């Protein structure tokens, strides 16, 4: 009799506990924020959107409906203002600590600069790496000559493909320093290994269900990466790396400190993967945009050609229209368009006039920041001229304040100067000599498809025709 009574009572107890938890969440500071009511009760909808490659657009639509502050889950909030960016990512120099989400980006089971969570640890690591990516180092002839060499290889391969019977070739827009994927077969296979994969679902499953790691790996085995692993392990043992390189600094630091066993190759692989997933995709989106058949795209391309062809000796970083085209490309197609999650510090913080309890996950996503119509009028249009607006100086200053393509603060993208140099040098090499158009054989989807943190062309293929200009 007692057992029967307990069986009947149990569902009621579960119901009562659920109701108490629901009321508690609705009455919490986060529960009172703008957003759909269900987001105050569960994070399941957000997780579903992540697993179906829809998180970025889902959050963007919520901001369009509810405004610059949106509750995403009982313990997660998204912001879309420059003041929120400054608080979350710049307060104290480096902003708030990263969440365990970034543990997905460890290499060889070792934390890297990008995957380090506490900002204090990150600041320590950054001190001995930052000068490798400083603009003064990137502008050294040895670096620029290497980038220009790759840009020439790229254009030569494109021109050869356009004149061949086949009419196309598999060409990569990003190359790790020291590799030549458009000329050397082994380097080509290395880039292909790093590029053509979809790890979103398995990575998210590991993040949300770490207790099921063995099951997840059994059902969806991790994609092996023997070529890239071999490359970074072998390269990291180079006894005489170039003095200006990242590797020389890492090796010196490894000798001077108690760096983990795989600290050097882990950092090298992290930087290798970061370039593949960002710079190459950004260039792909941008060149496709410039090649569209509409009149405006052709006008932009012609204006760019005029500046580049007319200033052959001017430094790539002194060409205003090229700079505007790159900025607008990064605004429309940011290399990492999705949220940068952070933990609110213990004791809580005030963000956009709301008190956010400590431990809450907060973030901003570049995709939404760059689409604010009050800052970027007609935000869906590709308009390089918006970065050359001399008539409204204040509006131009405001656009630069809202530019979020590389993050901000002490944990912003370390390689932004290198990425911009690579983009500008390649675009100059191409559009000072050629005109590009969309191939009639192009049938791949160029919509942005979300991965674990970056986005890429959904069809993973962009077919362009390169026409030599007189």
Strand pairing category for 448-450 and 434-438: unpaired
Number of domains the chain contains: 1
Q: What is the pLDDT of residue 354?
A: 97
At residue 180, does pLDDT exceed 70? Answer: no
Residue 292: inside a domain: yes
Residue 413, annotated as binding a ligand:
yes
Residue 198: inside a domain: yes
Query: CA 33 to CA 31: how far, in whole Å?
Result: 6
Q: What is the pLDDT of residue 2?
A: 44
Residue 301: inside a domain: yes
Confidence band for 221, pLDDT divided at 50, 70 and 90: confident
Residue 356: inside a domain: no
At residue 249, does pLDDT exceed 60? Answer: yes
Q: What is the pLDDT of residue 292?
A: 95
8-state DSSP, 455 = E
At residue 60, does pLDDT exceed 90? Answer: yes
Question: Cβ(343)–Cβ(351) under 8 Å?
Answer: no
Average pLDDT of the segment spanning 96-112: 93
At residue 115, does pLDDT exceed 50? Answer: yes
Average pLDDT of the segment spanning 353-371: 97
Residue 67: inside a domain: no
Of 174-188, 273-287, 301-315, which one has max mean pLDDT?
301-315
Confidence band for 114, pLDDT divided at 50, 70 and 90: very high
The DSSP result for 205-260, as a single string, is HHHH-GGGHHHHHHHSPPPP-HHHHHHHHHHTT-SS--TTSHHHHHHHHHHHS---
Residue 240: inside a domain: yes
Other CB atoms within a 10 A radius of the CB of residue 109 amount to 9
Distance set, CA 49 to CA 54, 65, 112, 204, 450 (Å): 5, 17, 28, 11, 11
Query: CA 193 to CA 131: how far, in whole Å?
Result: 30
The region of weakest confidence among 14-23, 63-72, 270-279 is 14-23
Task: Pick the more confident residue, 15 or 144.
Answer: 144
Q: What is the pLDDT of residue 391?
A: 80
Average pLDDT of the segment spanning 444-453: 90
Average pLDDT of the segment spanning 191-198: 66
At residue 220, does pLDDT exceed 80? Answer: no
Residue 63: inside a domain: no
8-state DSSP, 462 = -
At residue 239, does pLDDT exceed 90? Answer: no
Residue 14 DSSP SS3: helix
Task: Pick the more confident residue, 410 or 169.
Answer: 410
Residue 370: inside a domain: no
At residue 85, does pLDDT exceed 60? Answer: yes
Average pLDDT of the segment spanning 49-57: 94
Q: Provide the residue range defining the domain that includes 136.
A: 106-334+382-403+411-468
At residue 181, does pLDDT exceed 70? Answer: no
- Burial of residue 391 (number of CB atoms within 10 Å: 0-12, 13-18, 19+): exposed
Could you tell me the CATH number of the domain that includes residue 173? 1.10.630.10
Question: Cβ(114)–Cβ(413) under 8 Å?
Answer: no
Confidence band for 158, pLDDT divided at 50, 70 and 90: confident
Query: Could you tell me which residues come within 8 angstroms of residue 143 by beta carbon, excluding any fewer than 6 positions away?
Result: 137, 244, 418, 421
At residue 260, does pLDDT exceed 60? Answer: yes
Query: CA 35 to CA 45: how far, in whole Å?
Result: 13
Q: What is the pLDDT of residue 1?
A: 47
At residue 176, does pLDDT exceed 90? Answer: no
Q: What is the pLDDT of residue 16?
A: 60
pLDDT in tens, 271-284: 888 877 788 889 99
Structure tokens at 276: 């593949």
Average pLDDT of the segment spanning 327-332: 98
Query: CA 193 to CA 188: how far, in whole Å?
Result: 9
Q: What is the pLDDT of residue 308?
A: 94
- In total, the chain counts a number of residues equal to 470
């Amino acid at each position: 009799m007692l057992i029967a009574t307990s069986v009947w009572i149990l569902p009621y107890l579960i119901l009562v506990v659920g109701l108490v938890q629901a009321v508690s969440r609705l009455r919490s500071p986060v529960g009172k924020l703008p957003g759909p009511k269900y987001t105050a009760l569960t994070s399941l909808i957000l997780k579903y959107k992540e697993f179906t490659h829809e998180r970025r657009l889902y959050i963007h639509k919520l901001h369009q409906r509810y405004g610059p502050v949106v509750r995403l889950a009982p313990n997660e909030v998204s912001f879309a203002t420059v003041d929120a960016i400054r608080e979350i990512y710049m307060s104290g120099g480096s902003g708030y600590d990263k969440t365990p989400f970034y543990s997905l980006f460890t290499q060889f089971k070792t934390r890297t600069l990008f995957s380090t969570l506490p900002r204090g640890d990150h600041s320590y690591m950054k001190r001995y790496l930052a000068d490798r990516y400083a603009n003064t180092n990137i502008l050294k002839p040895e670096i620029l000559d290497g980038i220009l060499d790759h840009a020439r290889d790229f254009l030569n391969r494109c021109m050869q493909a356009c004149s061949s019977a086949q009419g196309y070739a598999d060409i990569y827009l990003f190359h790790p320093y020291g590799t030549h994927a458009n000329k050397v077969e082994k380097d080509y296979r290395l880039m292909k290994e790093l590029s053509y994969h979809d790890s979103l679902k398995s990575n998210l499953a590991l993040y949300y269900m770490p207790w099921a790691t063995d099951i997840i790996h059994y059902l969806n085995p991790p994609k092996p990466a023997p070529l890239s692993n071999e490359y970074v392990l072998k390269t990291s043992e180079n006894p005489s790396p170039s003095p200006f390189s990242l590797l020389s600094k890492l090796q010196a630091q490894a000798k001077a400190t108690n760096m983990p066993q795989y600290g050097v190759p882990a950092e090298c692989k992290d930087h290798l993967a970061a370039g593949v997933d960002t710079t190459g995709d950004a260039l792909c989106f941008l060149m496709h945009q410039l090649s569209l058949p509409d009149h405006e795209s052709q006008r932009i391309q012609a204006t760019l050609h005029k500046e580049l062809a007319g200033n052959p000796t001017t430094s790539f970083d002194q060409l205003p229209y090229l700079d505007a085209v790159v900025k607008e490309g990064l605004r429309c197609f940011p290399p990492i368009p999705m949220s940068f999650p952070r933990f609110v510090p213990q004791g809580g913080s005030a963000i956009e006039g709301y008190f956010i309890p400590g431990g809450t996950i907060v973030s901003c996503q570049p995709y939404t920041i760059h689409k604010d119509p009050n800052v970027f009028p007609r935000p869906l249009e590709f308009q390089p001229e918006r970065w050359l607006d001399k008539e409204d100086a204040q509006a131009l200053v405001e656009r630069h304040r809202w530019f979020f393509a590389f993050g901000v603060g002490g944990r912003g993208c370390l390689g932004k100067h290198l990425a911009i140099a690579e983009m500008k040098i390649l675009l100059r090499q191409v559009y000072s000599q050629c005109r590009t158009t969309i191939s009639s054989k192009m049938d791949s989807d160029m919509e942005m498809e979300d991965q674990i943190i970056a986005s890429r062309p959904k069809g993973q293929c962009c077919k362009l025709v390169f026409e030599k200009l007189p």
